[in-house]
Chain A
Amino acid sequence: MVKVNFYGPLKNYFGNTAEVKGRTLLEILSSIDANNVLIERKQNKIKSGIIILIDGMDWRINSAINDESQIDIIPVNHGG
């Protein structure tokens, strides 16, 4: 099972963590994102404004997921 950690306001939707089965990021997120918080369903892509790390590395670089993987999903803060 892949462990997914949520931060900030995402905890209100998903709790602190989820244990999910799946081989790709989109597959994993789709299985838990019933309210379309993370995924743009029409285009079937991950929404902007969210940092996603797979084992500490940007998902756009490291997309390899195994059963031991940890995924961090972090909403970007913009303001100052």
Chain B
Amino acid sequence: MERYSRQILAIGVDIQEKIQRSRVAVIGIGALGSRVSEILTRMGVKRLRFVDPDIVEISNLHRVSLFDESDIGMPKVIAATKHLEKINSEVTFEPIVDTVDNISWRELLKGIDVIIDGLDNDLSRSFLNYASVHLGIPYIYGAVTGEYGNAMLILPGKTPCLACFMKVSSTNNACEVIGVSPPIVETIAALEVQLFLNLLRGIEESELLYVDLSNMSLDKIKIKRNDKCSVCSLGKEPSINGNPCGVERVKQYDGELTFSNEYINVYNSEKGVYLVYKDKIFLKKRVS
């Protein structure tokens, strides 16, 4: 326990024991997800499952503290595991190359106690939210844009779910390449982990936390459950169709081979970028 002695002084032995029994899934291991994963690894969770279909690119490095230049072209989940294993060998890591959608959500979240959001698009979030509600697994939502970000604890059946107040936008402006300032990533990752600690303490308050770093403000916005919510009241699964952006599971690919390594072949086509793994293919859609 010497490894955790300083944090035990702050949070107590009982919470530390709960951390060390926790099986956490971090979905999306970009800037937010990799930072959350690093903190949870250092704090000593039992099991950490990462899910992400993408590879590390040079444009990630300004804000993704876990990755370095030697990781470029590697699947993010593999690169993350490589770094995190060196930080804490007591944690069991489960890297999974996949996306959360109507096919995968159930299998991806099997045996998980808490879901933490590191996603970069609202379509995948809508499936994650649905999975959380359907399986009864607490879900810690987090997202960033520019110097702004939000986080919220979602407890199925007790608090509002994401679909109570957020609709997946079907317009292209929801999928433009957005700017992100590194400090907001650190801030929201920290808040997501704090919500996890508060959950372990039994604090079930759920407000939308809105951080505006340019104004140094943190607002707590109260949201009510929506008794007509398509997900947590009516139980409807989100639709995969009609969304112009994000990563989609596909069966075939075309285009020109632009990158290849032991894990993946990457093809560039008019529709976008195909990530071709041995047993799965994903299309990162191009925004028109």
Flag whether A43 is at the interface (Cβ < 8 A): no
Residues of chain B with a CB closer than 8 A to A49's CB? 169, 171, 173-174
Bound: A51/B143 CA distance, A: 14
A76 to chain B, nearest CB (A): 6
Write out the residue numbers on chain A whose beta carbons fall within 8 Å of the beta carbon of B103.
none
A13 CB to nearest chain B CB (Å): 14
State how many residues of chain B have any CB contact under 8 Å with chain A: 43
CB distance from A18 to the nearest CB of B (A): 16
Query: Contact: A79 with B180, CB < 8 Å?
Result: yes
Kindly supply a per-residue 1/0 record for chain B positions 2-41, scoring 1 wherever the CB is within 8 Å of any chain A CB and 0 otherwise. 0000000000000000000000000010111100000000
Taken together as a complex, chains A and B put the C-alpha atoms of A58 and B28 apart, in Å, by 27
Per the bound structure, the CA–CA distance linking A28 and B108 in Å amounts to 44
A–B complex contacts, Cβ < 8 Å, 21 sampled: A49-B169, A56-B222, A56-B223, A56-B224, A57-B223, A61-B227, A76-B169, A77-B143, A77-B145, A77-B148, A78-B120, A78-B145, A78-B174, A79-B144, A79-B145, A80-B30, A80-B117, A80-B118, A80-B119, A80-B142, A80-B144
CA distance A1 to B176 in the complex (A): 37
B184 to chain A, nearest CB (A): 9
Picked from B120, B165, B174, B210, the residue with its CB within 8 Å of the CB of A8 is: B210
Q: What is the interface residue range for chain A against chain B? A: 20 to 34
B74 an interface residue at 8 Å Cβ cutoff? Answer: no
Complex alpha-carbon distance, A76 and B226, angstroms: 18
Bound together, the chains give a CA A58 to CA B275 distance in angstroms of 37
Contact A77 B164 (CB under 8 A): no
Digitize A1-33: 1 where CB-to-B-CB distance is under 8 Å, 0 elsewhere.
000000111010000000000000000000000
Question: What residues of chain B have their CB less than 8 Å away from a CB belonging to chain A?
Answer: 28, 30-33, 117-122, 142-146, 148-150, 164-167, 169-171, 173-175, 178, 180, 208, 210, 212, 215, 219, 221-224, 226-228
Chain B residues with CB under 8 Å of A60's CB are: 167
Q: Which residues of B contact A8 (CB under 8 A)?
A: 148, 210, 212
CB-based contact B166/A51 at 8 Å: yes
Cα–Cα, bound, A77→B165 (Å): 13
A72 to B142, CA, bound (A): 19
Beyond A11-B215, A48-B169, whether A61 also contacts B174 by CB under 8 A is no
Q: Which residues of A have CB within 8 Å of B31?
A: 80
Q: How far is the CB of B142 from chain A (nearest CB, A)?
A: 7
Q: Is the CB of A53 within 8 A of B165?
A: yes
Min distance, Cβ A69 to any Cβ of chain B, angstroms: 13
Which of B33, B164, B221 is the one whose CB lies under 8 Å from A80?
Answer: B33
Pick the contact of B221 from A9, A48, A72, A79 — CB < 8 Å?
A: A72
